[in-house]
A and B are shown apart, each in its own frame.
Chain A
Amino acid sequence: MRARIAGIAGGIAIAVLPLVAAQPPQPPQGRRPNAAAADEGIPITDPDVRLACGSCHVADDKGRMTRISYRRATPENWELTIRRMISLNHVTIAPEVARKVIKSLSDSNGLAPEEARPTMFEAERRLVDYTYAGDKDTHDLCNKCHSMGRVISERRTKEEWAGLLSMHRYFYPGIDGASGGFRRGGGGGGGGRGGNAAQGRGAGDGRGDNRQPYERAQDHLASAFPLMSPEWASWSAAMRTPKLAGRWAIAGYQRGKGPIFGELQITERSDTPDGFATDGKFTYARTGDSVSRKSRAIVYTGFQWRARSADGADDPGTWREVAFIERSGQEIKGRWFTGPYDETGIDVTLRRVSADAVVTGTDVASLKTASSGQRVRIFGANLPARVAPADVDFGQGVKVARIASTTPDVLTVEVDVASDARIGPRDLSLAGSTKSAAVVVYSKIDGIKVEPQAGMARLGGAAFPKRVEQFEARAFSNGPDGKPNTADDLDLGIVNAFWSLEEYTATFHDDDIRFVGQLNEAGLFTPNIDGPNPNRSGNRNNVGDVWVVGAYVPPGSDPSAKPIRGRAHLLVTVPLYMDWDYREVGR
């Protein structure tokens, strides 16, 4: 065994030959195996990584460690890999060393900004709708158990993609069959699991492709996400510690609570490479509540901001920050989140502030035509101390009637909107800074949308934590064409709706609404307790799906008018019994 590994000079293809030999004939490969493999692989020079990992991942004469050198990934993926080494391969590694290894490998074997951008939702822990467009079969196979985001967050050689799939099949033997569908499990002389009506199965899938599902995925991933790329070659040359120290204006949005504005200071930390600290404050524009916070960050791969809240010396990091640092060093954009399922989050954009004024946004998202004296607060930094109404330009049909108050970060104005002002967005300019589409002019609220349209909550409170779901209602106008759901529709911003639940009748005897949980007047849904419920038929859990309905009466409506309603679907389901959250990234 040892001799065989030591004998692998330039390629790791040899170790997987037995697997290849046992397969039915493969479709022809696009490159010569060993010869091409001999040129690949990123040498690892960091002594910490060589020491921590080198006893199993032996380095060759070019410094290429087995497996490690043939893969690039995000910090999150590297953390999961190291945790697998601990839990599945019985490696002992101190947390401090593990963090160094995560940092080192994220830098030497990371993703380029262009490669990482489409994967940010995964690191930001967003529950979005993502469909990998590259190959449906691969998407379907990987998505069966976990988010596809994990897969697109790495790059590997063909042998390494094969190694990844072998790892799945070794540790989860059932994955070949019912629990994963890695293999078809058919052919003559086989019956398959389950006592349902017989299903005919033949070799192949009728397209003349005899490969097993996992082999198809392997081949696709190797061609779509190879180890080397021009983007990485370019970035790994340019990569460096970003220059971030200074003032940054915060503009963000928290679902259910509305926009936030504020400012923070980023300073460099000397106790860890590429380490930074933030100290700042932000305010919820709709309520005036303000939050002071500190955090500690590490930048991986020269652009991946990962931080944890550090409000006290022993703050366990209840809030995490994941953001993308633009190459210009002028903007950092991402998400700050918390909660047992990272479900509570604020979308945040940081903009560098120098001496010039910068406008970051307004508290009010929309302005009605034919109105006067509407109060608007304009947020930013370095706003001028003396402002005349004419200095604030909202564009066509909108006039600042009066300046109510000025501070360096908030300018309060009163605004008149003409009755013939055209409906649509307006860019806001002040003191040389312009915020595009800062507000929207509308004449009539045509409806409200409830978001998220497909919500999810998880029961908890007894053995496992709850996942809450925050809903919000946003008003909209059909836009100039007057038709709903067309490209010119206008989003008029968050409104306070009256919230209620309605039964989503998936079955005739549906009684979910009695068990799933409570929706409060702020649109926050808190699920019920986990475990079997003896008060429910069949001892069922408190799972179910319901409609979340928002009802809104626009100000100035006829008192007898029916409220405008919108609804969303909410799935209240069982907990996750495993917590895969990233514990080391950002530390």
Chain B
Amino acid sequence: MTHLKPINQKANRVVDHVKAEAEGPVKADVVALQQTTPQQPHFPLGCSLVFSPGWEADSTGGTAGLCQPVERDIFDCHIGCFWPAQVPDQLNHAPDWTAKCASAQKDWRKLDLVFPG
């Protein structure tokens, strides 16, 4: 559009708004997400909101801050029961979840989908 490229969400909204004024049809995202409080990123329902560094999304609502890759830290998550709804917890639901692999980055295909209960 112009020589200026937005570098954050707020700037994105400014660009889209200006565009909307000029061209009419394009709507800024901020309108559709009016239910969220202003300036907050959007997190889909049910996603973890614990941002250390985050499971589905990092604190900015994106993926750049997630563990790279998640398999690197998976044991930590599992042993620490850190994501009770997302990752099988070693303490209760899946004590043997990682029994088939010593290094998750290598053996991640041996991890099973756990059906609690």
Contacts and interface: CB of A to CB of B under 8 A. Distances in A.
Direct contact of A and B (CB under 8 A): yes
Interface of A: 80, 82-84, 86-88, 127-131, 140, 143-147, 149, 171-175, 178-181, 446-449, 453-454, 456, 462-465, 484-485, 504-507, 510, 512, 531-533, 538-541, 543-545, 564-569, 571-574, 576-580, 583
Nearest to A447: B25
Given A449-B32, A462-B109, A580 B63 contact: no
A143 B50 contact: no
A130 B45 contact: yes
A578 B113 contact: yes
A145 B14 CA distance: 32
Given A179-B80, A539-B69, A564 B89 contact: no
Interface of B: 5, 7, 20, 24-27, 29, 31-33, 35-36, 42, 44-50, 52, 55-57, 60-64, 66, 68-72, 80-89, 91-93, 105, 108-117
A453 B32 contact: yes
Contacts of A127: 44-46
Nearest to A458: B56
10 contacts: A178-B50, A462-B109, A506-B62, A531-B108, A533-B69, A539-B68, A540-B68, A545-B61, A567-B26, A569-B29
Contact of A484 (B24, B29, B60, B114): B24
B69 to A, nearest CB: 4
A454 to B, nearest CB: 5
Contacts of A531: 69, 71, 108-109
Contact of B113 (A82, A465, A533, A565): A465
Contact of B84 (A145, A178, A464, A532): A145
A484 B27 contact: yes
Sorted nearest first, the 9 A-B pairs with minimum C-beta distance are A83-B117, A447-B25, A453-B32, A532-B69, A543-B63, A506-B62, A538-B68, A573-B56, A87-B117
A133 B84 CA distance: 25
Contacts of B61: 545, 571
A575 to B, nearest CB: 8
Nearest to A584: B117
Given A83-B116, A145-B84, A484-B27, A129 B108 contact: no
A533 B70 CA distance: 11
Given A453-B33, A531-B109, A578-B116, A565 B26 contact: yes
A545 B62 contact: yes
A463 B62 contact: no
A503 to B, nearest CB: 12
A147 B47 CA distance: 8
B32 to A, nearest CB: 4
B82 to A, nearest CB: 4
B67 to A, nearest CB: 9
Contacts of A504: 62
A578 B115 contact: yes
A532 B109 contact: no
B29 A145 contact: no
B91 A145 contact: no
A140 to B, nearest CB: 8
Contact of A87 (B46, B48, B57, B92): B92
Contacts of B72: 532, 539
Contact of B24 (A446, A512, A532, A580): A446
